[in-house]
């Protein structure tokens, strides 16, 4: 049997059309398959590899930590240096009210933890989320996912959840003194890169404060420089009560986190104690990798270059078949007429060695979220691949 056949028969499948590349090596923005064919990773493994693949500092940190120890005990019992050091470093780069980090295994678990924390702190159960939002695939996170098609087959889900439109007054009007929290993505990812209005985000914050509800920002995709600042909320001058991180947080290793003020977080230590439990959350190797990646990210000036590179993409992505391009830093959604047009263009790009994908709630949009280390020459090269792919699909070649 080929590896492809083994993949299809023994690795549980949920996609009817997996990309199915067999990569043997990845470095920087490039990946190579079993036949030696080179690919550019235009989506950073879904916004994970913000500093590129196989960064030597990250590899060294992983190897050093593996030599010291891997798993020791469940979360929060021993003082594990990589966890402590990474929590300290993260909080150094965050506003002072985001000073206590609960490390999880994944983004979805960070969402779960944040919802539990909000319920615990407020003693309320109502949660407000956005249509077209994605916060993870476990049952709590699925309950706040903003699309009935994706939720419905798994009902019953959590009760007392309200979905309203991102950027809408209706969402703000829904917040009242029974609301535990409002959970929003600082920049909506899977709706195809939608930015919030600054006024809306500020009103959201003041209304939450007035009503005693917690404001949760999901920056699992938007964080770590993707939008041109370390955290996306910095663009809007709004600090959440709870911040969700994941993806690039682990520098290529699995890691998530929900972060809040210690006075809120402490509610998970009593009545009941152990308010959130995880065996592997904050794994020492993941924390060592994540910390090395964050250090590299802030030492280099890749974040400062994001704006110029975004503009270059916007200038190069001009074609009369492109309906619009939405962007938030090095994160773009290229909109086509339909999924039926977008998908073959993506497939054509992959054939030509540029790996992209579509968005969960915007299947007519092509995803661009390259490692921030991408050069201007590479951006031009990629855009010409996209242009020729559009031409070929429309000419039926
Ligand atoms: N939140 C957002 C905005 C995401 O994009 C994702 C994953 O794509 C998640 C949460 C869930 O993260 P994970 O897949 O690590 O559970």
108 CA to centre of ligand 1 in angstroms: 6
Pairwise CA distance, residues 232 & 237, whole Å: 10
Q: Which of 33, 39, 40 is nearest to 373 (CA)?
A: 40
| Residue 147 pLDDT exceeds 90 | yes
189 CA to centre of ligand 1 in angstroms: 9
Q: Is the CB of 196 under 6 A from ligand 1?
A: no
Query: Which residue puts its alpha carbon closest to atom 2 of ligand 1?
Result: 135
Pairwise CA distance, residues 38 & 52, whole Å: 15
| Residue 397 pLDDT exceeds 90 | no
3-state DSSP assignment of residue 226:
coil
Taking only the tens place, the pLDDT of each residue in 187-209 is 999 999 999 999 999 999 999 99
Taking only the tens place, the pLDDT of each residue in 36-59 is 999 999 999 999 999 999 999 999
Check if the beta carbon of residue 50 is closer than 8 Å to that of residue 248.
yes
Query: Which residue puts its alpha carbon closest to atom 10 of ligand 1?
Result: 135
* 132 backbone dihedrals φ, ψ, rounded to 5°: 65, 25
Please state the rounded mean pLDDT for residues 245-267.
98
* Residues near 369 by beta carbon (within 8 Å), at least 6 away in sequence: 42, 43, 44, 46, 47, 221, 226, 330, 331, 332
Please state the rounded mean pLDDT for residues 169-197.
98
Specify the DSSP class assigned to residue 14: -
Please state the rounded mean pLDDT for residues 175-198.
98
Taking only the tens place, the pLDDT of each residue in 335-393 is 999 999 999 999 999 999 999 999 999 999 999 999 999 999 999 999 999 999 999 99
* 164 backbone dihedrals φ, ψ, rounded to 5°: -135, 170
- Provide the Cα torsion 390, 392, 395, 397; round to 10°: -150
Average predicted confidence (pLDDT) for the chain: 97
Pairwise CA distance, residues 85 & 103, whole Å: 12
Domains, the chain, in order of start with CATH, read: 3-54+301-395 (3.90.1150.10), 56-299 (3.40.640.10)
Q: Which of 43, 27, 15, 47 is nearest to 346 (CA)?
A: 43
Specify the DSSP class assigned to residue 232: G
Taking only the tens place, the pLDDT of each residue in 61-117 is 999 999 999 999 999 999 999 999 999 999 999 999 999 999 999 999 999 999 999
pLDDT at 40: 98
Q: Is the CB of 135 under 6 A from ligand 1?
A: yes
384 CA to centre of ligand 1 in angstroms: 30
Q: Is the CB of 134 under 6 A from ligand 1?
A: yes
Q: Is the CB of 187 under 6 A from ligand 1?
A: no
Please state the rounded mean pLDDT for residues 265-289.
97
CA angle in degrees (0–180, nearest 5) for 62-66-68:
120
Check if the beta carbon of residue 246 is closer than 8 Å to that of residue 256.
yes
Please state the rounded mean pLDDT for residues 287-314.
98
Query: Which residue puts its alpha carbon closest to atom 13 of ligand 1?
Result: 107
To the question of pTM greater than 0.85 for the whole model, the response is: yes
What is the percent of the chain where pLDDT is above 90? 99
Q: How confident is the model at residue 396 (pLDDT cuts 50, 70, 90)?
A: confident
Query: Which residue puts its alpha carbon closest to atom 8 of ligand 1?
Result: 136
Cβ neighbour number for residue 89 with a 10 Å cutoff: 17
Q: Is the CB of 136 under 6 A from ligand 1?
A: yes
Query: Which residue puts its alpha carbon closest to atom 7 of ligand 1?
Result: 136
| Residue 306 pLDDT exceeds 80 | yes
68 CA to centre of ligand 1 in angstroms: 30
Provide the edge-to-edge strand list for the sheet that holds 179-185.
100-104, 256-260, 242-245, 214-218, 179-185, 126-130, 161-164
Q: Is the CB of 246 under 6 A from ligand 1?
A: yes
Q: Is the CB of 108 under 6 A from ligand 1?
A: yes
């Amino acid at each position: 049997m080929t590896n492809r056949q083994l993949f299809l028969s023994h690795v549980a499948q949920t996609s009817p059309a997996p990309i199915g590349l067999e990569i043997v090596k990845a470095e920087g923005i490039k990946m190579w398959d079993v036949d030696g064919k080179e690919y550019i990773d235009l989506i950073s493994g879904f916004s994970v590899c913000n500093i590129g693949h196989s960064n030597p500092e990250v590899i060294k940190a992983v190897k050093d930590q593996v030599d010291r120890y891997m798993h020791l005990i469940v979360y929060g019992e021993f003082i594990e240096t990589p966890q402590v050091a990474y929590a300290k470093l993260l909080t150094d780069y965050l506003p002072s009210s985001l000073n206590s980090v609960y490390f999880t295994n994944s983004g979805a678990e960070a969402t779960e933890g944040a919802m539990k924390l909000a319920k615990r702190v407020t003693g309320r159960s109502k949660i407000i989320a956005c249509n077209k939002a994605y916060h993870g695939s476990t049952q709590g996170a699925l309950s706040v996912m903003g699309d009935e098609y994706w939720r419905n087959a798994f009902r019953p889900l959590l009760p007392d959840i309200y979905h309203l439109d991102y950027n809408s007054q209706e969402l703000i009007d829904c917040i009242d003194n029974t609301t535990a929290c409002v959970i929003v993505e600082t920049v909506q990812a899977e709706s195809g890169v939608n930015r919030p209005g600054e006024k809306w985000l500020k009103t959201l914050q003041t209304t939450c404060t007035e009503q005693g509800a917690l404001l949760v920002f999901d920056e699992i995709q938007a964080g770590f420089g993707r939008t041109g600042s370390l955290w996306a909320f910095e663009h809007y001058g709004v600090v959440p009560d709870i911040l969700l991180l994941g993806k690039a947080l682990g520098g290529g290793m699995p890691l998530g986190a929900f972060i809040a003020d210690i006075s809120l977080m402490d509610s998970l230590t009593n009545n009941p104690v152990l308010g959130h439990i995880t065996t592997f959350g904050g794994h020492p190797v993941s924390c060592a990798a994540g910390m090395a990646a964050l250090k590299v990210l802030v030492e280099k000036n890749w974040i400062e270059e994001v704006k110029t590179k975004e503009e270059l993409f916007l200038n190069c992505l001009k074609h009369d078949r492109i309906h619009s391009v939405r962007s938030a830093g090095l994160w773009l959604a290229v909109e086509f007429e339909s999924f039926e047009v977008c998908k073959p263009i993506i497939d054509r790009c992959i054939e030509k060695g540029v790996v992209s994908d579509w968005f969960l709630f915007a299947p007519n949009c092509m995803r661009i979220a390259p490692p921030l280390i991408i050069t201007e020459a590479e951006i031009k090269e990629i855009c010409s691949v996209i242009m020729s792919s559009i031409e070929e699909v429309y000419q039926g070649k």
